[in-house]
Structure 1
Amino acid sequence: MSGRPSKLTLLRPKWLLLHAITLAACAAMIWLGHWQWRAAIRHHGDLRNYAYALQWWAFVGFTVLMWFRVVSDHLRPAEDAGPAQPPAAPPSRYLGYTQAPSSPAVETDPERRRLNAYLAHLNAADREATE
């Protein structure tokens, strides 16, 4: 298998919903651009209304571009990252600030020290409960 998703996946319900929303948004923006263009003519060539009309049509172009990018990203083959290595230890449910391994652990703030000690205690208790 090539790792590339089939184009038939674009016919699944969530993709059909994306296609329908994209088409509806484009149709609405085209209609709004046309309405704004007629409003500009009605106001004897008000430049601001012409600019708004062009802006709506630019939104259509952006919407189509983003739809194309989402679809092409989905159909792009997955990168082979090599064999996945299992994590050394299961991740903790309790997250806190940890120093990078290469930097010395210098903690001068007593509040931070107390918080990290509490999180370490919760993590140890959680690991004991799961073993």
Structure 2
Amino acid sequence: MSGRPSKLTLLRPKWLLLHAFALAACAAMIWLGQWQWRVAIRHHGDLRNYAYALQWWAFVGFTVLMWGRVVTDHLRSDRAAEERPSGAASPAGPAAPASRYRGYTLAPSSPAVETDPERRRFNAYLAQLDAADREAPE
């Protein structure tokens, strides 16, 4: 593949719902901030009301920041999935794909862990869930 993430995935229904929710939340918080500012003026400059107004606008900034982080993380995970050869396991193992958990590494397993039958069954189950999740359309 080209190595570039597909930005068209951001136009899928679940992403459009996220975009619409973030936009509606920002609009509501801007309106609340303006309302709080008007209340502060009506109460002759009550400092607490001005602080609440600024707090609503800070929430808008945080919402935009987190929305941008979610989108860039998704695009980076697409890029990492495209760069990995098909069928190759991620460096972190089948239960924790590196594209989803960027920055996290698994602790080295001890021989006692690998001989535990319950843990082997659980890891096989996690690998099965991961494979089913990868095959499912978004």
What is the TM-score normalised by the length of structure 1? Answer: 0.62
Aligned with 2:80 (options 78, 81, 85): 78
2:26 corresponds in structure 1 to 26
C-alpha displacement of 1:37: 0.3
What is the match of residue 7 of structure 1? 7
Kept after mapping to 2: 8 A contact 1:36/1:50 = yes
Provide the C-alpha distance between the structure 2 equivalents of 1:9 and 1:63, rounded to a whole number of angstroms.
21
Residue 101 of structure 1 corresponds to: 111
Instruction: Give yes or no for the alignment of 1:54 onto 2:54.
Output: yes
CA RMSD of the aligned region, Å?
2.9
User: Which runs of 5 or more structure 2 residues have no equivalent in the other structure?
Assistant: 95-109, 122-138
- Tell me the SS of whatever aligns to 2:10: helix
1:4 touches 1:78 (CA, 8 Å); kept in 2?
no
Q: In the alignment, what sits opposite 1:92?
A: none
Mark the runs of 5 or more structure 1 residues left unpaired by the alignment: 88-99, 104-115, 124-131
What is the CA–CA distance in structure 1 between the aligned matches of 2:2 and 2:112, rounded to whole Å? 40
Q: Which moved more, 1:54-63 or 1:74-83?
A: 74-83
The residue type paired with residue 68 of structure 1 is: G
Counterpart for residue 65 of structure 2:
65
TM-score, normalising length from structure 2? 0.59
User: What residue in structure 2 maps to residue 16 of structure 1?
Assistant: 16
User: Could you tell me how far 1:15 is from its partner in structure 2?
Assistant: 0.6
Retained in 2: the 8 A contact 1:32–1:56?
yes
Counterpart code for 1:72: T
Q: Deviations over 1:64-89 (max 9, x none)?
A: 011111111111221657732898xx
Greater helix percent: which structure?
A: 2
Aligned partner letter, 1:23:
L
Residue identity in the other structure for 2:111: P
Letter in 1 for 2:60: V
Q: Percent identity among equivalent residues?
A: 78
In 2, the alpha carbon distance for the partners of 1:55 and 1:30 equals: 10
Instruction: Tell me the SS of whatever aligns to 2:80.
Output: coil
Q: Deviations over 1:95-124 (max 9, x none)?
A: xxxxx4369xxxxxxxxxxxx9xx96xx7x
